[in-house]
Amino acid sequence: MDGQHTLRSFRRLSVGTRLAVGLPVLSVLVLATGLVSLRLGPVPINTLEVVWAALSTVGLDGPSIDRTAQLVIEQIRLPRIIVGAAVGMALGLSGTAMQGLFRNPMADPGIIGVSAGGAVGAVTAIAIGLVDLFWLALPAFAFIGAALALLLVYGIAAVGGRISMATLLLAGVAVNAFLGAVISAIIYLIPSEGPLREILYWLAGGLDSRSWDHVRIALPPIAVGAATLALTARDLNLLALGDDEARSLGVRTGATRTALLAASALVTGSAVAVSGSIAFVGLVTPHVLRLVLGPDHRVLMPMSALGGALFVMLADMAARTVIQPAEFRVGVLTAFVGAPFFVFLLIKNKRQVYTL
């Protein structure tokens, strides 16, 4: 009761204050989760060693530590955690953008077909055996698939000139269904069992054996997309109210919407390319944060980036520990934990959740 009241008062603070409090809090949580996560694993490493190893990886030399510990941190755990954070960030950002853009709380990063397109690309690369030839084939195919799916959805919605969000949404639904069928067909038609397991594994979404290569291919596009979304956050407040609203308050709706869609597709495509389909993060993160922070995208956008990162990092931490020494799929865990939590929130805040 008391906590609820505090949350509602926080919602009333100015944009600057909400960010000034919220960003450091979430950043500290992200860093702390990262540190704890670096400690976890079959090779025991203490916190101090973790810190030194992490610092030396980014070029800051501290006291030298155990060689194995250094390698485990540098080559296995750190890149994996960074990829997880980047993916979560991407999903949080694009989920927020999609919910605002489509004026629909059901919207998630996959709504414009990008995730399904990425999945078809990846599944194809696995099925035809390209992945065994060179590792980059998987993310490259996933990314191309994501881009093609977006163009297809956008192209369908653009038939006849003006793009309406309703047609975009429906085109997304149709393309998602179609691409789902394509994946099923590929799985059905694959002759051998080997790639099948790999495909199912990839479709569940995961962060295992992510390397610095994955960091390098995912981070730049996610950074570009994040910057674009940050610049358009205020316009998104107005676009979420309606096109007339936005235009009468000085937003160039066409250009802004295209920028928002492209940026969301870019970050989602990059995330899918390095982690597969991690479910639920893009849907649930903006919702949870909106309850506390309100709907202003200038606050919601950066906070959802950090919130998404935190969500995926926690899920990854759990995935690595719950059934040790084996590993759970991160994408399965996010939905496993995320869905019930989301339902709990919905019931608890039935009155606060905005109606559309």
The residues of the shown chain that bind another protein, judged by CB under 8 A, are 11-12, 14-16, 100, 103, 230-231, 234, 237-238, 240-245, 247-252, 290, 294-296, 298, 352, 354-356
Cβ at position 156, least distance to another protein in Å: 20
Please identify, using beta-carbon distances, which residue of 56 and 253 lies nearer to another protein.
Answer: 253
Cβ at position 113, least distance to another protein in Å: 24
Cβ at position 299, least distance to another protein in Å: 9
Instruction: Please check whether residue 73 is in contact with residue 50, taking contact to mean a CB–CB distance below 8 angstroms.
Output: yes
Cβ at position 344, least distance to another protein in Å: 19
Please identify, using beta-carbon distances, which residue of 101 and 125 lies nearer to another protein.
Answer: 101
Please identify, using beta-carbon distances, which residue of 28 and 249 lies nearer to another protein.
Answer: 249
Cβ at position 108, least distance to another protein in Å: 17
Instruction: Please check whether residue 81 is in contact with residue 313, taking contact to mean a CB–CB distance below 8 angstroms.
Output: yes
Q: Note if the bond before 286 is cis, omega within 30 degrees.
A: no
Please identify, using beta-carbon distances, which residue of 306 and 318 lies nearer to another protein.
Answer: 306
Rounded-to-integer distance, Cα 310 and Cα 285, Å:
10
Please identify, using beta-carbon distances, which residue of 12 and 67 lies nearer to another protein.
Answer: 12
Cβ at position 101, least distance to another protein in Å: 12
Please identify, using beta-carbon distances, which residue of 51 and 259 lies nearer to another protein.
Answer: 259
Rounded-to-integer distance, Cα 131 and Cα 126, Å:
6
Please identify, using beta-carbon distances, which residue of 196 and 240 lies nearer to another protein.
Answer: 240
Cβ at position 96, least distance to another protein in Å: 12
Q: How many residues does the chain have?
A: 356
Q: Would you call 153 exposed, middle or buried from its count of C-beta atoms within 10 A (0-12, 13-18, 19+)?
A: buried
Cβ at position 103, least distance to another protein in Å: 5
Cβ at position 269, least distance to another protein in Å: 26
Please identify, using beta-carbon distances, which residue of 39 and 247 lies nearer to another protein.
Answer: 247
Query: Which residue has tokens 């603070």?
Result: 13
Please identify, using beta-carbon distances, which residue of 255 and 343 lies nearer to another protein.
Answer: 255
Cβ at position 226, least distance to another protein in Å: 14
Short-list 101, 109, 102, CA closest to 271: 109
Residues 6 or more apart in contact with residue 242 via CB below 8 angstroms: 103
Please identify, using beta-carbon distances, which residue of 41 and 294 lies nearer to another protein.
Answer: 294
Instruction: Please check whether residue 89 is in contact with residue 301, taking contact to mean a CB–CB distance below 8 angstroms.
Output: no
Query: Which residue has tokens 């079959």?
Result: 42
